[in-house]
Structure 1
Amino acid sequence: MLKHSLGRLKRIQFSWHTLKNFTSSSSCSTTVPKERVDCVVIGAGVVGIAVARELALRGRDVLIVESAPTFGTATSSRNSEVIHAGIYYPPNSLKATFCVRGRELLYKYCSERNIPHKQIGKLIVATRPSEVPKLNHLMNRGIQNGVAGLKMVEGSEAMRMEPELQCIRALLSPVSGILDTHSLMLSLVGEAEDNGATFSYNTTVIGGHLNENSMCLNIFETKCLENWNSRFPSQPDMVLIPKLVVNSAGLSAPVLAKRFEGLHSSFVPPSYYARGCYFTLSSTGIPPFKHLIYPIPEEGGLGVHVTLDLDGQLKFGPDVEWIDGVDDISSFLNKFEYSVCSKRVELFCPEIRKYYPNLKDGSLQPGYSGIRPKLSGPQQSPTDFLIQGEDIHGIAGLVNLFGIESPGLTSSMAIAEYIATKFL
């Protein structure tokens, strides 16, 4: 399936010109060209691609509009590539429900299509007595969420499993794992296209307006938008009139929703951005860990944890760095600062040595970073995924996906299933 998808992908690298060919209107018209379409998914991250595939499998004509030159260039390609079990999230929350269901769908999908993945298990560790009650709380929460196989182990047992580990107690999650995110997205893209979906890259939705209680989309060519500074052009290049719109724009989803004229501002949550950096462990031959190793969660994230990729490369991260001052166009075009400052290693090492005391000085190298699309800021309580349809905001055919951070990758196929079932 993967080789087949690669071949299909070479034939579906659509661009702005593809969108013009997809529609029948002439760009030479004195007015803005308009075209009626069936379903539009905004954003070709892993969630958007999964939604497009699911809609296409159910017989809908789907157009995926992506501002970047290809799929998965933002959050989807800048994460830990972990298949989460569903431990951390409040019972009955969307995060808990979608994570557990999504994990099942993801393992099945990867197995059936030979997408590289591995169920390596996770240890969440307490390194001091004050953390043990939190560990017990996580176990109880995981059980409530329906996570199978959870086991509390004493530090001695955990350290027999992982000789380089130091802890006094650990929660073992055997169903946690890792996968090749790019291969997953490549397969989803190929399958969506096989079922009639069309991808238009280098194409940006810059807003929308209501027409007879349906949201019309204002479309602009990305390369032209890049020539603008902090203000958007007053007139779009094209208007699409879809029956169903799924705003899966990730980091820019709330910013885009603010530009949907007719959507009341009370339905658009505030957006916060938290950068997370990763450092990789320099080559040491055999990796020091075989499992994912996670500390007790911290504000804004799950702590600086150990992740292995499928090639055995070990990485630490992400940390949490709140960022602000992002203007709307930078958000739309993913113009975030993704460089990793080497000096941040000074913050990483003390956190890592709490559970990995043998970490050698100078063994960490800057890796990569990602941005979390969060709905809660510093010192605020964590928030759930926010999925809004007509039943909430009153606009027919508009579905907004807000705050799809971790466990968004694990939840992607479950989110797609939910949207197709509820909103079609």
Structure 2
Amino acid sequence: MSDHVDIIIIGAGVIGLSVARALSLAGKNVLILEREKSFGMGVSSRNSEVIHAGLYFDADMLKSSLCVRGKEMLYQYAAERHIPHKRCGKLLVASSEAELPKLEQIKLNAENCGVNDLRMLSKADCSALEPDISAVAGIFSPSSGVIDSHSLMLCLLADTENSGGQVVFNTVISAIEKTAEGFKVTTNDDYSISCDILINAAGLGAMTIANMIDVLDKSHIPDLIMAKGNYFSYSAKTSFNHLVYPLPFQGGLGVHLTLDTAGGVKFGPDVKFIEHEEYTVSPSLKNDFLNSIRHYFPTVDPEKLNADYAGIRPKLSKDGLDFCIQFEKDHKIKGLINLFGIESPGLTASLAIADYIKEKI
């Protein structure tokens, strides 16, 4: 391995891999450094694997524009590379008359963001789409879906390597120094490599990496708020064909019903703000999950609901600020790109985020 590359990307999650693929295909000499033993072992492997339509965010947010753009890029890429995915559609449900104004508000906001394929549903329409769901009204989003995120990342990595990019696992960064030419990155085994451009895509570790950069004013590093989301699997035989979401609330989109690409059903995530990274799912949460699920799926079988897995979203506020993607104009350091708070809809937006960064370099 050379001791100098054009670009070092720290983090081999779906964002780091997407950016590496885009820049490698553009002819750049790219090296990914990842602390874990394989790719996608953090935020990218512990989520709902949903392809979002882009309904909830303000039109002027990156979360909105990159989600709407990234959604179609992701469907196209998945089809080209035969990545398991399904454009199954999403049913967003109101459980009471009091929620109807919120439903209308979401539809109007989505249309303002360029999502014009939503359909308002009556109670009868909801029952026709999903007979086991209880709702007074709903919205159907035909462009929502699911994707196998592991297969996606495998393809992104293959494209990167086939274009000359490299990835090194089990590599912990110990220091980052600004040099006249760019940056010198030192690992915990005292190996150093230099680059012209440094891209910090370390997910939950992005703030830690940023704090290592000797010339970066620490006022540019936001606080990390870790939002743990627990998931429960559901083993009962069901007839669900669509994603089913309650109306969103502060901090998240509610405990929703998600299908995987094989048709399996899971529920989650909830939102628990935590101080330390940990992924245990307590069976004691089952009653809370049942109470949430019964609002729209009253016949859920408690015996078939079991604690499954958890993920942590790297939020920048409890209300969910926009993605924070910093370039030289933001921190005055040539060649440095920081990605902070890349939570949902980061998976959906991943290819669009990569293009956004490529266009800025």
Instruction: State the TM bucket, normalised to the shorter chain.
Output: over 0.9
Which residue in 1 is equivalent to 2:269? Answer: 318
Which secondary structure state, in structure 2, belongs to the residue aligned with residue 160 of structure 1?
Answer: helix
User: Which of 410, 414, 419 is the aligned partner of 2:348?
Assistant: 410
- 1:221-370 map, 5 Å: 221=189, 237-284=190-237, 287-324=238-275, 326=276, 336-370=277-311
Which residue in 2 is equivalent to 1:40? Answer: 8
Q: Residues 372 and 405 of structure 1 are in contact (CA less than 8 Å); yes or no, is this contact kept in structure 2?
A: yes
Q: TM-score, normalised by structure 2?
A: 0.98
Write out per-residue CA displacement over residues 266-286 of structure 1, whole angstroms, 9 at most, x where no aligned residue.
1111111011010011232xx
Which residue in 2 is equivalent to 1:69? Answer: 37
Write out per-residue CA displacement over residues 11-37 of structure 1, whole angstroms, 9 at most, x where no aligned residue.
xxxxxxxxxxx13xxxxxxxxxxx332
- Whichever of the two has the greater Rg, that structure is 1
Write out per-residue CA displacement over residues 64-120 of structure 1, whole angstroms, 9 at most, x where no aligned residue.
000000100111111111100011111121000100110010011011111111100
Q: Residues 236 and 301 of structure 2 are in contact (CA less than 8 Å); yes or no, is this contact kept in structure 1?
A: no
Which residue in 2 is equivalent to 1:17? Answer: none
Q: TM-score, normalised by structure 1?
A: 0.83
Aligned-partner residue type, residue 346 of structure 1: N
What count of residue pairs does the alignment treat as equivalent?
A: 361
RMSD of the TM alignment (CA)?
1.2
Q: Residues 61 and 322 of structure 2 are in contact (CA less than 8 Å); yes or no, is this contact kept in structure 1?
A: yes
- 1:122-133 map, 5 Å: 122-133=90-101
Q: Residues 315 and 343 of structure 2 are in contact (CA less than 8 Å); yes or no, is this contact kept in structure 1?
A: yes
Q: CA deviation at 1:308?
A: 0.5
Write out per-residue CA displacement over residues 294-344 of structure 1, whole angstroms, 9 at most, x where no aligned residue.
0011221110000001111100000001100x3xxxxxxxxx321211111
Q: CA deviation at 1:352?
A: 0.2
* CA distance in structure 2 between the partners assigned to 1:402 and 1:196 by the alignment: 27
Q: Residues 213 and 395 of structure 1 are in contact (CA less than 8 Å); yes or no, is this contact kept in structure 2?
A: no
Write out per-residue CA displacement over residues 168-208 of structure 1, whole angstroms, 9 at most, x where no aligned residue.
11011000001111111111100110000011000022341
Which residue in 1 is equivalent to 2:316? Answer: 375
Which secondary structure state, in structure 1, belongs to the residue aligned with residue 172 of structure 2?
Answer: strand
Q: Residues 198 and 335 of structure 2 are in contact (CA less than 8 Å); yes or no, is this contact kept in structure 1?
A: yes
Which secondary structure state, in structure 2, belongs to the residue aligned with residue 203 of structure 1?
Answer: coil
* CA distance in structure 2 between the partners assigned to 1:192 and 1:54 by the alignment: 8
Aligned-partner residue type, residue 83 of structure 1: I
Gaps of 5+ in 1: 1-21, 24-34, 222-236, 327-335
Which secondary structure state, in structure 2, belongs to the residue aligned with residue 362 of structure 1?
Answer: helix
User: Which of 137, 140, 161 is the aligned partner of 2:129?
Assistant: 161
User: Which of 197, 212, 218 is the aligned partner of 2:186?
Assistant: 218
Which residue in 2 is equivalent to 1:401? Answer: 339
* CA distance in structure 2 between the partners assigned to 1:392 and 1:213 by the alignment: 20
Q: CA deviation at 1:213?
A: 7.6
Q: Residues 213 and 396 of structure 1 are in contact (CA less than 8 Å); yes or no, is this contact kept in structure 2?
A: no
Greater Cα shift, 114-123 or 359-368: 359-368
Which secondary structure state, in structure 1, belongs to the residue aligned with residue 103 of structure 2?
Answer: helix
